[in-house]
A and B are shown apart, each in its own frame.
Chain A
Amino acid sequence: GNSVTQMEGPVTLSEEAFLTINCTYTATGYPSLFWYVQYPGEGLQLLLKATKADDKGSNKGFEATYRKETTSFHLEKGSVQVSDSAVYFCALSGPPGGGNKLTFGTGTQLKVEL
């Protein structure tokens, strides 16, 4: 079945540091890939997505590239801010024809300090 593996947190960075959160997946076919963010006390929000191999999703300075050869979708940001502190979830949709079922990773907590 489908599965998503994320690096464990918490990840603690200083403001303006470079961020990478690793995500790899196992799936049937070619799923769409997503990063969701969950701020304290709020629901999950879609951060970015990519629907096919080599696509790059980007939003709010965050980027992730759909790498089929390494089955990865790593999240990156060049300069994090305190306001980026949240839990980040990598997810994929599928299997094909099975509707929009999302399979999530366990989440990575990011803490950004001044």
Chain B
Amino acid sequence: EAGVVQSPRYKIIEKKQPVAFWCNPISGHNTLYWYLQNLGQGPELLIRYENEEAVDDSQLPKDRFSAERLKGVDSTLKIQPAELGDSAVYLCASSLLGKEDNEQFFGPGTRLTVL
């Protein structure tokens, strides 16, 4: 069974440019998460979806970040415009249900470098 797929794996852009990351969760998983992982830190939740609905986006900087999960499957995370401080790894995860002890399965991440 395929795991969580993310693309691209690496992205280098100049500041003020837009960038988008794509995530395909494990088939059948209704809950999808985007996390931000700064160098030397643990992941921090940006947004959580249950099916198509964003049920927790309290940590998403909405002035420049946006996300969507059309049809409750794939998801896209966008930054526009990117800033130097956005350089980090963006992780996508999915789980079968949003229950508190359900395992989250993580993708390999997209490493973003903003110059």
B77 to chain A, nearest CB (A): 15
Pair A46/B101 contact, Cβ less than 8 Å: no
Pair B41/A102 contact, Cβ less than 8 Å: no
Chain A residue total in the interface (Cβ 8 A): 26
Contact mask for chain B residues 83-107; partner A; CB cutoff 8 A; 1 contact, 0 none: 0000000010101011111111111
Contact partners of A49 in chain B: CB under 8 A: 101, 103
Q: How far is the CA of A113 from the CA of B91 in the complex (A)?
A: 29
Contact B42 A104 (CB under 8 A): yes
Chain B neighbourhood of A106, CB < 8 A = 40-42
Residues of B in contact (CB 8 Å), total 29
| Alpha-carbon distance A51/B103, docked complex (angstroms) | 12
Question: What is the total of A-B residue contacts with beta carbons within 8 Å?
Answer: 66
Q: Which residues of A contact B91 (CB under 8 A)?
A: 43-44
Contact of B43 among A32, A94, A98, A104 (CB under 8 A): A104
Contact in complex: A101, B48 (CB < 8 Å): yes
Closest residue to B45 on the A side, CB-wise?
A: A101
Contact B109 A102, beta carbon cutoff 8 Å: no
Contacts of B115 in A (CB 8 A): none
Per-residue CB proximity of B43-63 to A under 8 Å, as 1/0?
Answer: 111001010000110000000
Asked if A45 and B55 sit within 8 Å, CB to CB, the answer is no
Task: Return A111 CB to nearest CB of chain B, in Å.
Answer: 15
Contacts known (A43-B109, A44-B43, A44-B91); A102 close to B104, Cβ less than 8 A: yes
Q: Are B108 and A96 in contact (CB under 8 A)?
A: no
- By a beta-carbon cutoff of 8 Å, the part of chain A in contact with chain B is 4, 31-32, 36, 41-46, 49, 51, 89, 91, 93-94, 96, 98-102, 104-107
